[in-house]
Structure 1
Amino acid sequence: MMIQWMESLFTEVLGKSLDAAVVVLCILCIRGIVGRYARKYAYLLWSVLAVRLLWFWPVTNYFSFFRLPVFESDLWQNTRQLPERLKEYGSLGNSDALLSGTQMQAEVLHTEAVSLTLAQKVLLGGTILWLAGILLFLVYFCVSYLRMKRRVRFAVRIGDGIWQGDCVPSPFVMGIFCPQIYLPSGLDARQMRHVVCHEKQHIRRKDYLVKLLAFFLLAVYWFHPLIWLSYFLMCRDMEMSCDEAVLKELGMEEKKAYSATLLAFASGKTVPGNLLGFEENNAKSRIRHVLRYQKPGTVLAEILSLVCVLSLTIWGFNHQSGADAGQENAGGSGSQILADSEEGGTVSEQAQQLYEAGTPYLGDASAVGNLLSLLGQQGYLPELDYTLELQTSERPYVLQMNFSDGEGDTEEVLAYMGQSGTLMLALVENLDEIRWGFSYGEEENSVIYYWDAEASRAMFPSLEDVKSYGKSPEAVEELLEILAQENMGEQQETISTVGGADGPTSVYIS
């Protein structure tokens, strides 16, 4: 159970990585413009990426960048769904999966004795490798933090939250709940003033928590090269924006003196990357930025702030589709779920439940099992035990239910199969065909009934495209009304029978 949950989380991370790549490239373009005027706005831009990586629940926005046609194309959607498809084939493999269960019980059907396929091995191996990478990051963080904590244990307190000693390699901030400033020995009064002001700016802005969060995201997305690039650029923007805050507090006349302090620590010893250190490897670019920095005017500052807000709005969230908008309008009282329909009416709880139970993939065994259980509870399946086969190795994708009792009366089978089969075809997007098998007699004779979209249209002439009825709760409601209103007894189906004594009898309805 735990490994299945981790595999699901891994596929979700892979899917978000593709979105993150687009967001990073967009941020880099805007950052190059915004950063020329003030680095604090470039620093703020990285919050857009953090939101994109952190939000695992659907947050939608009508003005999202991801509503452009290119992101709704089949190519992008298929690429975006590759991790989910890997999960699908990792669960079922390239061979048929055999599931068993009782339709009247509201429980998920579980896979029985399915050998590991290549897709399963890839998914499991990728998940283990991903978790191992996260573990290494956590070990590095803990070890480096404890080693530094041990190293500075002999530092002397010289002020409120300020420590100094020969054991400190370079100025830095350490701590989560009560951050402390650590300074090396030998600083003159000017350097002390610059460094303490710089580190206090970090504490005031909670940069120590921001860097901890960034390090956590890097640990989760360690396999993504653009996330590594983003981490280092974010740290650079953090330091440069802090330099700007120091100049704002001390005055622009301190530019040269502050640059000299930066230069003095340019060749100093480093501190672990998960701590906030005054010394950075990009001292040259920081000095250049300090000397060139001019405080932006009020109008320019407002424009740059607006750019950051718009960036979060455009790139931080998914676009709001029509289905999302319809679901947001859902409401109700008691146990009933009601939603506004296009005609101004309501959608029944039954239609809402069926729509939410739908799945795009026949290979999602858990979702298919839940949907069948729901159909059984609503009376669309016979009260018989069955085993379930999901055949997804090639088209047509087939769902076969093998009932253990009875030969199956043709009229009764058609009554059940006509409604449940049509609903399954509508709610499972890539389902092509449904088969019901009945075994009977001591010689284990069997009858197999076949059902597809053509059979649904023959039994219910007013149906249009069967798949279109699974697109929204309103469409499911319309399908339920068609199934309830049309008298199946008056429809003329074509029934073809193949097979006999030497094999299973196959009954085709068209």
Structure 2
Amino acid sequence: MTSLFTAIFNMSITASYIAVAVIAARLFFKKAPKIFSYVLWLPVLVRLIFPFSFSSIFSFLSLFKTNTTINTSMIEYVPRNIGFMENSAIDIGIDRINNAISTSLPDAAPAAGLHPIQLMFTIASFIWIIGIAVLLLYSIISYVRVMKNVTTAVLVRDNIFETNKITTPFVCGFIKPKIYIPTGISKHEVSFILAHEKTHIKRLDYLIKPFSFLVLIIHWFNPLMWLSFTLMSKDMEMSCDESVLKEMGNEIKGNYSNSLLSLSVKRSGLLMGSPLAFGESNIKSRIKNILSYRKPTFGVIILTIIITAVLMVTFLANPKEPYTAERPSSVEYTIENLIANKTPYVGDNSKVVALIDALPLPEGIIRDTVRLHTSNQPYGITINLKTKDDSYTVPNNINTNDFYRNSVILFSLIDNVDTIEYMIPAVEPYSLVYTREYVVDLMGEDIRSYGENEHTLKSLIDQLDTIHTMDVTKDNQIEHYLEIIMSSPKTSSNPRDYIKAHQREYDNILKMGDEALIYLLSQFESDNISNDLRGHIIMSLSKDLLGITDEGLLPTQWYSQLSANVKLPDYIGNVSDSLEQLVYNTTVQQYSLPNSGFTVVAPTILGVYQEEDKVKVFVTVYYNRYKLYGKTLYEMGGGIIPGAITYSKNIDGSYILDEYLEAMDGSYFGKSIKEYCVMPISNEEISGLSDKILDDYKNHAGRSELLIKNLIEHLRANNQKDIELKKKTGQVVPLT
């Protein structure tokens, strides 16, 4: 319901902009036939009903520089997931209003179970529903009372009835509308009164007005929509008056005006959706319009039609956003193909694979094999990826948001899939796992409903752009689950009660394995842990991941007694060749990151070239970072990167580092290697060297062996015995 109210709220804001424009246009159309002013209210009605529209560079809404139009099919001034955003923000296209609103909105509280904004919108949605119910009930009662008054009406002819229970003529009925007139009306008045009411019937006003009022009830919280409905009703009646004058001639102006005055009624604001009455309010304006009416010339009509058509298009169109490389849109997705392959079952192999193949992947990566897990719940999909060629591996800084976006779309289109795993083909392959529970928690709703049709799926993809800039790494997932675990029960002081209340979230962290353990232990290392609830839950998770069952220690005590948490220095090579030793020292320094563990390198020198006092070394380096907990060594991340190191050689034979160039990622990999395979002074290319480097890069077996050899040597040099290496693949390798 909150999501529905947010969507209605966004539509109401858009309609408000269009309504203001229509009110301004009415002033321009002051002397034009009122039928054009009446027609101009159609875009407002459409905006109040439909959340999506077509896009055009001529959209009126382009005047408002919002950052909320994504793919331009929908506009969200208030993000649907605002209750799950760390920093709440609203963008309505007016900077001062944006700043005033956004700065007044409360941000998420880390330990809170419910975001304040989420609570506000939940309460607002309940008030909205109550308002709709009250207005609907009042309107129904009012309509029933009107119909009760005409139960004794006598048929005069056709669909015309006469009764002494009413004071003004009106049209009533939805399927077969009837005209009711009061008794005692003179014969000369009856003709143009009937002409007025028949015009309403001919134009279907008897349906348009009640329907518009029903839409108004849905948007009852917007005062501008009440004004718009009043002005629309006024334009409806004036245009109807003009139609009668056009049909019967200007000579009836006096009698027509007198009849309006004598049969005028004052309606309650809450009865505006009741039957169309001849003597509606705004009598003064209508009489003035009747007396001043002149039949427009053909040229005026043509010009007004053109202007009205142009305004209609600009009011109905959404702004067309320029394409930006940093901002993906649903254009990248073949919406029709995705919807065509929607399936309730993860075991539907052909459709599931078709869905996966319809989703874009980061540059340089393609799908390999797909494995469907259908024997037991949770049902899952494993997507094995590979590079387009063997010339490079996936970069360490690959944008995981791409995989997150694809996973959300798959969760919306495959009803019973619970987990989606991507196997990333890095030097040491690793996986990214997304669960339906995590996506639902982040989005704030069950996203299966977005897979119903093309429009709903496009709206989901557009929403994902809001989250696209968020860091949806596993670290953030862990923190998200921790917040949920700590949210309840507030009355308990026992950490186990919180874990039992949120066992699903606790288990989701455990499923992340070593990556979760490394993050949790890093919280201890960075002094982010105290002996509070969060500390106890993180300690419990760490123990479960390490397989430790000791009890009775506070989190800080427990970590301090994890005595094997030895902070080792970076590896120092020990080779006989002075230049090779220099390369070891340089590459260790290049990839050292003390906060992420100690670094070990395994460089392969592929060429050494000297030109005057410059020495250029071409090397491919396998590096990795490690952390030691207990007797287990964990991989923190690394890579294999070709590079070119340039030194200046002094007279005494020593070297000074001038430049360290690395091969670039993706499609620039081979090109960047060729560009740095030149001599530093003459800038002449070294023949065949780039091909040699690329050929060598296809086989890392020798470098892998050298890295393990150097790691073992480093551990022994630091008196570390009985150490095992737990690789990201889960394999455990004894080292010392």
Indicate whether the TM-score tops 0.5.
Answer: yes
Change (3 A) 1:241 1:69: closer
Shift of 1:330: 6.4
Q: Which residue of 2 aligns with 1:88?
A: 84
Q: Which has the higher contact order (CA 8 A, sep 6+)?
A: 1
- Out of 234, 244, 260, the position equivalent to 1:236 is 234
- Is contact 1:134–1:220 with CA below 8 Å preserved after alignment? yes
The range that moved more, 317-326 or 203-212, is 317-326
Change (3 A) 1:249 1:165: same
Q: Which residue of 2 aligns with 1:474?
A: none
- Is contact 1:385–1:404 with CA below 8 Å preserved after alignment? no
Q: Which residue of 1 aligns with 2:195?
A: 197
Aligned partner letter, 2:108: N
- Is contact 1:173–1:277 with CA below 8 Å preserved after alignment? yes
The residue matched to 1:442 in structure 2 has which SS?
coil
- Out of 401, 404, 408, the position equivalent to 2:510 is 404
Q: Distance in 1 between matches of 2:47 and 2:403?
A: 25
- Is contact 2:61–2:315 with CA below 8 Å preserved after alignment? yes
Structure 2's unaligned 5+ residue stretches are 89-105, 342-350, 369-382, 386-400, 425-429, 444-469, 479-507, 520-540, 551-557, 563-594, 598-635, 642-662, 667-696, 712-736
Q: Distance in 2 between matches of 1:406 and 1:200?
A: 71
Q: Which residue of 1 aligns with 2:331?
A: 326
Shift of 1:68: 3.9
Structure 1's unaligned 5+ residue stretches are 1-5, 98-113, 415-435, 465-484, 496-510
Shift of 1:58: 4.5
Task: Render the CA deviation track for 1:263-303: whole Å, top value 9, x for unaligned.
Answer: 22136888942221111221111011001111222221122
Q: Distance in 2 between matches of 1:296 and 1:327?
A: 50
The residue matched to 1:404 in structure 2 has which SS?
helix
Q: Distance in 2 between matches of 1:86 and 1:384?
A: 21
Change (3 A) 1:314 1:355: farther
Q: Distance in 2 between matches of 1:315 and 1:346?
A: 42
Q: Distance in 2 between matches of 1:456 and 1:302?
A: 71
Shift of 1:219: 0.3
Q: Percent identity?
A: 26
- Is contact 1:93–1:116 with CA below 8 Å preserved after alignment? no
Q: Distance in 1 between matches of 2:432 and 2:403?
A: 23
Change (3 A) 1:119 1:328: closer
Q: Distance in 2 between matches of 1:121 and 1:409?
A: 33
Change (3 A) 1:204 1:391: closer
Shift of 1:326: 3.0
**1:381-420 to 2 correspondences below 5 Å:** 381=431, 399-401=476-478, 403-404=509-510, 408=514
Shift of 1:206: 0.2
Q: Distance in 1 between matches of 2:154 and 2:664?
A: 85
Q: Distance in 2 between matches of 1:382 and 1:221?
A: 43
Structure with the higher fraction of residues in helix conformation: 1
- Out of 36, 40, 50, the position equivalent to 2:35 is 40
Q: Which residue of 1 aligns with 2:103?
A: none
Shift of 1:118: 3.3
Task: Render the CA deviation track for 1:212-244: whole Å, top value 9, x for unaligned.
Answer: 121012101111111011000000000000001
The residue matched to 1:399 in structure 2 has which SS?
helix
Q: Which residue of 1 aligns with 2:548?
A: 442
Aligned partner letter, 1:404: L
- Aligned residue pairs, count: 411
Aligned partner letter, 1:11: T
Change (3 A) 1:140 1:386: closer
The residue matched to 2:421 in structure 1 has which SS?
helix
Q: Distance in 1 between matches of 2:149 and 2:548?
A: 81
Q: Distance in 1 between matches of 2:431 and 2:292?
A: 75
Q: Which residue of 1 aligns with 2:159?
A: 161
Shift of 1:82: 3.4
Q: Distance in 1 between matches of 2:250 and 2:436?
A: 80
- Out of 405, 409, 424, the position equivalent to 1:358 is 405
Q: Which residue of 2 aligns with 1:501?
A: none
- Out of 362, 376, 381, the position equivalent to 2:421 is 376
The range that moved more, 17-26 or 330-339, is 330-339
Change (3 A) 1:328 1:208: farther
Shift of 1:17: 2.1
**1:110-509 to 2 correspondences below 5 Å:** 115-266=113-264, 272-274=271-273, 275-321=275-321, 322=323, 326=331, 336=354, 358=405, 375-376=420-421, 381=431, 399-401=476-478, 403-404=509-510, 408=514, 439-443=545-549, 462=664
1:20 aligns with 2:18: no
Q: Which residue of 1 aligns with 2:44?
A: 49
Aligned partner letter, 1:309: A
Q: Distance in 1 between matches of 2:209 and 2:423?
A: 52
Change (3 A) 1:374 1:38: farther
Q: Distance in 2 between matches of 1:56 and 1:487?
A: 54
Change (3 A) 1:65 1:391: closer
Backbone CA RMSD of aligned residues: 5.0
Q: TM-score, normalised by structure 1?
A: 0.66
Q: Distance in 2 between matches of 1:296 and 1:456?
A: 78
Q: Which residue of 1 aligns with 2:375?
A: none
The residue matched to 1:262 in structure 2 has which SS?
helix
